[in-house]
Structure 1
Amino acid sequence: MSNKSNYNITESDLIKGAVAGDRRMQEELYNRFSPKMYAVCLRYANNSNDAQDLLQEGFIKVFRNLHRFRAEGSFEGWMRRVFVNTSIEYFRKKSAQLSSVSEKEENTIEDSDISALDQLAEKDIIAIIQELSPGYRTVFNLYVVEGYSHREIGEMLGISEGTSKSQLARAKSLLQKKISQYLSDTRKSYTR
């Protein structure tokens, strides 16, 4: 991931070359997109090693299916979907089933605001999100970062819409507590 990308090569030429099996173009495609796709993987993974595994698995899928890209949307968006789906598959294999909630429980869950996120650096936010359980983290990422609806998340993960809402609310609540604690600890270290 540390190699520099050659932006003189157009995205279209890069894709054509990679589909044709040109190793230089495949390497360039990897170098150009691996930092962004690693960030996607890191949001879903338990740790950096798992994120690296997801990155490699995702690129294998990208290269196997590159010929299917129809240029009807952005290439980066297409890749992101491959990596999100790879992460969801990982989640399904690694995690126990998310706990279901009743409609009554769903209506009692508060949807907390996370305004403290504005005060944190991206790496701090990612580290705090990684502390969430895989279920909370996955639903949070799919809803907040990727923009899926609760219905779509339910279908992807095999859970009810209410369970998705519950997992998100609980994730936000935990994140709010973790962020408040982090900010409190940070302020204390500056005042010493």
Structure 2
Amino acid sequence: MKVIDKEQQIAEAFRRGETSAMDDLFALFSGYLMGVGMRYIADDDEVKDVLQEAFIKIFTQFHTFQYRGKGSLKAWVTRIMVNECLTTLRQKQKIDVVDGEQVPDLPDEEPDTEGLDGNVLMEMIRRLPEGYRQVLNLYVVEGLSHKEIGQMLHIKPDSSASQLHRAKTMLAKMINDYKRRLR
């Protein structure tokens, strides 16, 4: 007997025009996509607005989705959410590209994140300047190259690398400061 995963069930329900497919898709991915949005946008209300826009796009463009196996639906909805976040930030001109700024070197060692609560780390990431946060997420989480990030954000690949360095530096400082306060 062939086992059909939840993503495939939802895709097939959409193809059949079942209205419950939207509810199932929302229930499966809304929390996850909210987390994705929170990595890019610092304001919770703004993330909720972007999430709503992303789901509108997902529902209206579902006919373009091609099921390619387990995880393909999650990848597709994630890409839509990331693109909606970037579009929102571009429209509000919040992309903070800072070149020529003096930034301290990264610490010799990676910051100790052992025992660091995930929510605390998320809040630290959300405190990064918009441009730094975007590059950090696109590079570290989404796995894009600096060339791809440059194309998406309309910046030079060198600027992407520079912003990643600055984001890591700021994040390392926040983590080290937090750990010192706990001692």
Mark yes or no: TM-score above 0.5.
yes
Structure 1's 53 and 116: CA in aligned 2 closer, same or farther, altered over 3 A? farther
1:121-173 superposed Cα distances (whole Å, 9 cap, x missing partner): 21111100001111111111111111111110000000001111111111111
Normalization by structure 2: what TM-score? 0.85
* Structure with the largest fraction of helix: 1
Conservation of the 8 A alpha-carbon contact between 2:111 and 2:176 = no
Q: 2:51 aligned with 1:49, yes or no? A: no
Q: Distance in 2 between matches of 1:63 and 1:127?
A: 30
Aligned-residue Cα RMSD (Å) equals 2.4
Structure 2 unaligned spans of 5+? none
Conservation of the 8 A alpha-carbon contact between 1:109 and 1:166 = no
Structure 1's 95 and 19: CA in aligned 2 closer, same or farther, altered over 3 A? farther
Q: Distance in 1 between matches of 2:104 and 2:67?
A: 42
Given candidates 70, 75, 78, the residue that maps to 1:77 is: 75
Deviation at 1:109, TM superposition (A): 7.4
Given candidates 90, 93, 98, the residue that maps to 1:92 is: 90
Structure 1 unaligned spans of 5+? 1-7, 188-192
Deviation at 1:115, TM superposition (A): 3.4
Q: 2:155 aligned with 1:159, yes or no? A: yes
Q: Distance in 2 between matches of 1:19 and 1:56?
A: 22
Deviation at 1:9, TM superposition (A): 7.7
Conservation of the 8 A alpha-carbon contact between 1:45 and 1:130 = yes
Structure 1's 175 and 15: CA in aligned 2 closer, same or farther, altered over 3 A? same
Normalization by structure 1: what TM-score? 0.81
Q: 2:57 aligned with 1:64, yes or no? A: no
Deviation at 1:27, TM superposition (A): 0.8
Q: Distance in 2 between matches of 1:81 and 1:30?
A: 15
